[in-house]
Chain A
Amino acid sequence: MAHSDASHADAHGGHDHDHPSYLAHHFDTPEQQFDSGKLGMWLFLVTEVLFFSGMFCAYAIFRAWRPEVFVGCSEFLNTKLGAINTGVLLFSSLTMAWAVRASQMEEHKKTAALIATTLSCAMVFLGVKAIEYSHKWEMGLLPAGLFTYNPANPHPEAPDYLLYICAPFAVATIGVFIWMVAAFLQGAKFQFECAKPIFVMCLSFFVGVQLGRILEPKEDHSGEHQVASVDGEHGHEDHGHEEDGHDHAEEADDHEVHDDAKTLVAASEPGEMSSNTQDLAVIERLATDATNTGLNDELSARKAQSALASGAITYDVSDDEGATVTTVPDDVLRPSRAGVFFSIYYCMTGVHAIHILAGIGVMIWLLVRAIRQDFNRNYFGPVDYVGLYWHLVDLIWIYLFPLMYLIR
């Protein structure tokens, strides 16, 4: 096989010594090698696009079903942080495209520096994301099934999630620092050269966390404010379900107290009966106007009273009626609905973040190779391919950002 390849190359180029070390033996020319790799990369990116499209489809379905839930829940996402992250990703895309150019021009130092910058941007992105996630987890804004957000108590006692997210990054940072110091002391120059930018990259995560901390108001009442605005938008229909439950419970109590009192009154003054029925007729007429909601309530109360007063055995069914699902007003923050929004939110941004992490992993490999000066004007494929992947991750965020953060 190798022999036939060599003879093949000989037949075409006539220079068997021109098969350089970076050119795999089964390729004739660097361009052929590059194009084959690139085709493979495009294939992979196509599968990535189709993979993400499933989640975008879920998004489209649920948004079409309950647009108001998406508008209401989007209020909980910090547009400022989202916009900052968009800018950071766009900038990292620029440095990545620039790194490809630098590797094509054989500017080795610049290539390594630009890849390191891209890595740092990726880490800043994750740092900001850590603030966003931990803030939401503390508020109970979790996926369906775990969603426990309570508008009355938006900041319940919660573990310090930020600490948990930061812990692995802190461990990695310390590890890289130890590696850097050890390499320096041992005089391992190449290792030290690699550890330096990786250490800067690790620190960038905490820069991102700090950035997020500045932009995400800490002990504010933004949650309450947001809920108020949501309520305002949707008017009378949207009340917190907790509130609602409360109302019903109170109503039931009222009925009981009221009924007891009236029973006593009716028992002591039987002459009142007739006037009571007259009143009822008047109120009944007034209550035909649906806008007189207060009168409707009073009417039902009085009906119950007079029924009791006439000695009938009544069952107070209003309680059960009020508790059925059909009479509960639509609420943006019902756990089963808001939870679905946050399921989609965490799924999409989470999978995106996993892609960022994967990109970081591949780019560290790229960084080491760039420092080793592996790339030249005929062999820059790896930089180009990772660049394509990175731009795709950016591209997905370009769609995610407005669809999640900018819903009105």
Chain B
Amino acid sequence: MSAHEQSKEGYDFAHPIPLPLLFGVFGALTLLTIITVAQASSDLLGSYDVLAVMVIATIKAILVGAFFMHLAWDKPFNIIFFVGSFVFVALFIVFTLFDNRGTLKDDIPVMDDAIVATATE
């Protein structure tokens, strides 16, 4: 019976991830977290630190996505779907920042309640 089921299409499709791989990914993620925190407490990279931090975060995200989320063995359609959403996020944020840059000079001074209050005293 079981031998018959093994051969049956649409059954026994599970793909358990080997434990060493899981632990390896976890180790890499922890290491990358330590690196991020370490670079933030040192002043090594100067103004490029945002870029460095985002690159490290993206590497971590790819590790989580590929192995923990099974994307490395998933259907291409699901991968296109998920990665595609990040493309749209990038479009959204990049274009808003372009607009932001263009209108940066239109600075409207902010009235601060606290300051007005102390001045009238």
Contact = CB atoms under 8 A, between A and B. Distances in A.
B108 to A, nearest CB: 10
A22 to B, nearest CB: 12
Nearest to B107: A65
Contacts of A319: 119
B81 A43 contact: yes
A57 interface: yes
B78 A38 contact: yes
B112 A335 contact: yes
A392 B61 CA distance: 9
A90 B36 contact: no
B92 to A, nearest CB: 6
Nearest to A148: B114
Contact of A53 (B30, B43, B92, B121): B92
B4 to A, nearest CB: 9
Contacts of B60: 398
Contacts of B78: 38-39, 42
A402 B54 contact: yes
B112 A336 contact: yes
B53 A402 contact: yes
Contacts of A181: none
A332 B75 CA distance: 49
Nearest to A41: B78
A401 B54 CA distance: 11
A57 B110 contact: no
A98 B26 CA distance: 11
A246 B119 CA distance: 9
B57 A28 contact: no
Interface in B103-121: 104, 109-121
Choose among B13, B84, B111 the residue with the greatest number of A CB atoms under 10 Å from its CB. Answer: B13
A399 B100 CA distance: 22
Interface string A66-85: 00000000000001000100
Contact of A378 (B11, B25, B57, B117): B11
A45 B82 contact: yes
B81 A334 contact: no
Contacts of B82: 42, 45-46, 49
Choose among A43, A50, A90, A319 the residue with the greatest number of B CB atoms under 10 Å from its CB. Answer: A90
A323 B111 CA distance: 11
A377 B100 contact: no
Contact of B19 (A13, A28, A61, A101): A101
A334 B112 contact: yes
B8 A104 contact: no
B55 to A, nearest CB: 10
Interface string B1-26: 00000001111111111010011011
A87 B34 CA distance: 9
Interface string A312-341: 000000011011011010000011110000
Contact of B100 (A50, A61, A105, A248): A61
A165 to B, nearest CB: 26
A408 B96 contact: no
Contact of B121 (A49, A249, A380, A406): A249
Interface stretch (A209-217, A221-229, A237-245, A364-372): A237-245
Contacts of A276: none
Given A38-B78, A83-B37, A94 B97 contact: no
B89 A50 contact: yes
B37 A30 contact: no
Given A90-B26, A245-B115, A387-B68, 11 more contacts: A53-B93, A60-B100, A65-B100, A87-B33, A94-B26, A97-B17, A101-B16, A378-B11, A384-B70, A391-B65, A395-B64
15 contacts: A29-B10, A30-B11, A42-B82, A46-B81, A46-B85, A49-B85, A91-B26, A93-B29, A98-B19, A104-B15, A105-B16, A249-B121, A388-B70, A392-B69, A394-B64
Interface of B: 8-17, 19, 22-23, 25-26, 29-30, 33, 36-37, 40-41, 43, 49, 53-54, 56-57, 60-61, 64-65, 67-70, 74-75, 77-78, 81-82, 84-86, 88-89, 92-93, 96-97, 100-101, 104, 109-121
